[in-house]
Structure 1
Amino acid sequence: MNPDKVKIGILGIGGIGGFVGAPLAKKYQDSTTKIIFICRGETKKAIQNNGLVFESKGIKETIYPHLVSDDPTEIGVLDVLILTSKSYSIKDVLSTYKDCINSETIIITLQNVVNAKEIIRETLPEADQIMEGCIYVASNVKQPGHIQHVGGPGKIFVGGKENHSLIDLLADGGLDITYVPNINEILWKKYLFVAPVAGITSAYKVTFGQLLEEENLMHILENMMIEIQSLAKKNNISLTKEDIETSKDLLTKFPFESKSSLQLDFENHNQTEKQFLVDYVIENAKKYGIETPFYNGVNEKIKTSYSVS
């Protein structure tokens, strides 16, 4: 990667993609670092015509990247691809944009999963430059091309092959990003929060604030976290009781009315990440002989509430 001339693609300009892409596009607007928003449909049309509208901490800005496109030929080969699309889209989007990726392209993942590298290599077995990561933020789409940051610090952690020049470039571009050598531990700690909270808020149709007020639901949530703790142990990751308490306390850091992205997708009749946040836990725990009565109960309630499999 030539540090003086870098082409960065942000794939998926939804809540996370918009949050990540906005400061980068603003910082590098008149630079040899090119920020490309890879999106399609109404989102592409809105940003091409009116820029990306981004709201955060009471400030609303309109930001224009170097390019907005869904055409692999127009985009060309990328130095960096930041994957912010939903987990269920990874295989399809990588197939669509495989010509934008070569052996030198660094792929940064920001999905709420603990097996992103595995998912990517099912589609791109030759992919060698994968930096798995996660982001702590609540950021939603108000309408196509209009993103609202509603909570969370926006802290990003990434791991994989160390690349200080890239991390510095992204940090200089306005991202709160840190390289960590033990990324699997960080991914599991985030998953400990994200997956159970997504499941229980969807099943019981409650906001983060309402969840905190319901003692019975907090009991279920804690036991779901204990089930994930058991699964993590089988993957050589030690999650402690303190990690569980920290995850529960994280709920207090979001606005009372916050909802999980899984819950919002169910409410809006969109495709959901249930396969990665609920089914993954149950299916993999079963392989190891781990009982998951609390996850099973939440899964059944989701099926009943939304008529899904």
Structure 2
Amino acid sequence: MNSDTMKIGILGIGGIGGFVGAPLVKKYKDSTTKIIFICRGETKNVIQNKGLVFESKGTKETISPDLVSDNPTEIGILDVLILTSKSYSIKDVLSTYKDCIGPETIIITLQNVVNAKEIIQENLPQAANIMEGCIYVASNVKQPGHIQHVGGPGKIFVGGHENKQLIELLASGGLDITYAENINQILWTKYLFVAPVAGITSAYKITFGQLLKDQNLMYILGNMMMEIQSLASKNNITLTMQDIETSKDLLTKFPFESKSSLQLDFENNNQTEKRFLVDYVIENANKYGIETPFYNDVNEKIKTSCNVY
């Protein structure tokens, strides 16, 4: 990290990238900390010409970062790269922007997975400074260049090699971010909520509120969480029944009409993270001899209702 200037790239200006990027741009505009939005296509064109529209808690504002680009040469070597793109695109984006990642570049992951570091190291072995993380928020793309924060506290946890200077800089920039030594425990605890909820809401095409009101589906959800609990134990992570109850209670913290990002991607005929949120559980549980009848049933329902195989 350069003591005089700081180049922070946010890769993927969707719901999460916009939520993270907006406060940083507001705080560090016209300073030695440069915020770069890395995006392409219509999103890039809209933000370059009109700025990013960000809605949260009844307010709407337009912000313009220091640079909006999909050109690695124009972006240059980054001090920090915050990966907010979907899990399925990590391999491709690392290949595209490998020249923006130097020996000192810190990569922060905010995907809904428990193996982001492994994915990065498989595709970019030279990446030495990886801070795995997660974020608790519901933030969606209303249209390219227009992000709406619909719920969730926006709390970010990151692990890896502790960097107090960076955490303080991001916190001063308006992010609710905390360093956690036990990041794997936190990643699995979030996965305990995200993966089953994504699966069941996609399979049955229901909102969070509708799920909460259906006792039968809540029973299925609880059993899906217990299947993840069994898988976590094989990875030396202990998830308790209280963790499961806390995860189910999280549904009450979101608006009734909230939908999982997996469900929204199915609805919009986009590429989805099913491989990371559904298939990953079934395949890895199978390796350990763990039975997953509830996940299997939801998977079959997704295949039928969403026409995927």
TM-score bucket (shorter structure): over 0.9
User: Structure 2 counterpart of 1:77, which letter?
Assistant: I
User: Structure 2 counterpart of 1:252, which letter?
Assistant: T
**What is the aligned partner in structure 1 of residue 175 from structure 2?**
175
**What is the aligned partner in structure 2 of residue 65 from structure 1?**
65
Does 2:247 match 1:247? Answer: yes
Do the aligned partners of residues 40 and 246 (structure 1) sit closer, same or farther apart at CA in structure 2, a change above 3 Å counting? same
How far apart are the structure 2 equivalents of 1:158 and 1:5? 23
SS at match of 2:162: coil
Deviation for aligned residue 1:156: 0.2
SS at match of 1:103: strand
**What is the aligned partner in structure 1 of residue 74 from structure 2?**
74
Deviation for aligned residue 1:54: 0.3
**What is the aligned partner in structure 1 of residue 302 from structure 2?**
302
Deviations 1:197-226 (A, max 9, x none): 000000000100000000000000000000
**What is the aligned partner in structure 2 of residue 215 from structure 1?**
215
How far apart are the structure 2 equivalents of 1:5 and 1:85? 25
Instruction: State whether residues 3 and 165 of structure 1, in contact with CA within 8 Å, keep that contact through their aligned partners in structure 2.
Output: no
Deviations 1:223-274 (A, max 9, x none): 0000000000000000000000000000000000000000000000000000
Hey, which bits of structure 1, 4+ residues long, moved more than 6 A?
A: none
Deviation for aligned residue 1:120: 0.4
Deviations 1:156-196 (A, max 9, x none): 00000000000000000000000000000000000000000
How far apart are the structure 1 equivalents of 2:161 and 2:3? 17
How far apart are the structure 2 equivalents of 1:197 and 1:4? 44
Instruction: State whether residues 25 and 64 of structure 1, in contact with CA within 8 Å, keep that contact through their aligned partners in structure 2.
Output: yes
Deviation for aligned residue 1:2: 2.0
User: Structure 2 counterpart of 1:154, which letter?
Assistant: G
Instruction: State whether residues 134 and 158 of structure 1, in contact with CA within 8 Å, keep that contact through their aligned partners in structure 2.
Output: yes
Deviation for aligned residue 1:307: 1.4
Deviation for aligned residue 1:4: 3.2
**What is the aligned partner in structure 2 of residue 86 from structure 1?**
86
User: Structure 1 counterpart of 2:237, which letter?
Assistant: I
User: Structure 2 counterpart of 1:112, which letter?
Assistant: N
Gaps of 5+ in 2: none
User: Structure 1 counterpart of 2:14, which letter?
Assistant: G
SS at match of 1:61: strand
Superposition RMSD in Å: 0.5
**What is the aligned partner in structure 1 of residue 9 from structure 2?**
9
Deviation for aligned residue 1:306: 1.3
How far apart are the structure 2 equivalents of 1:286 and 1:103? 38
SS at match of 1:155: strand
**What is the aligned partner in structure 2 of residue 185 from structure 1?**
185
SS at match of 1:131: strand
Instruction: State whether residues 11 and 85 of structure 1, in contact with CA within 8 Å, keep that contact through their aligned partners in structure 2.
Output: yes
The size of the alignment, in residue pairs, is 309
How far apart are the structure 2 equivalents of 1:190 and 1:146? 26
User: Structure 1 counterpart of 2:233, which letter?
Assistant: K
SS at match of 2:295: helix
Instruction: State whether residues 12 and 38 of structure 1, in contact with CA within 8 Å, keep that contact through their aligned partners in structure 2.
Output: yes
Does 2:109 match 1:109? Answer: yes
Deviation for aligned residue 1:103: 1.2
**What is the aligned partner in structure 1 of residue 22 from structure 2?**
22
How far apart are the structure 2 equivalents of 1:191 and 1:4? 38
User: Structure 1 counterpart of 2:206, which letter?
Assistant: V
**What is the aligned partner in structure 1 of residue 163 from structure 2?**
163
Does 2:260 match 1:270? Answer: no
User: Structure 1 counterpart of 2:155, which letter?
Assistant: K
Instruction: State whether residues 202 and 262 of structure 1, in contact with CA within 8 Å, keep that contact through their aligned partners in structure 2.
Output: yes
User: Structure 2 counterpart of 1:97, which letter?
Assistant: Y
SS at match of 1:53: strand
TM-score normalized by the length of structure 1: 1.00
**What is the aligned partner in structure 2 of residue 152 from structure 1?**
152
**What is the aligned partner in structure 2 of residue 53 from structure 1?**
53
* Percent of aligned positions that are identical: 85
Deviations 1:89-110 (A, max 9, x none): 0000000000000111000000
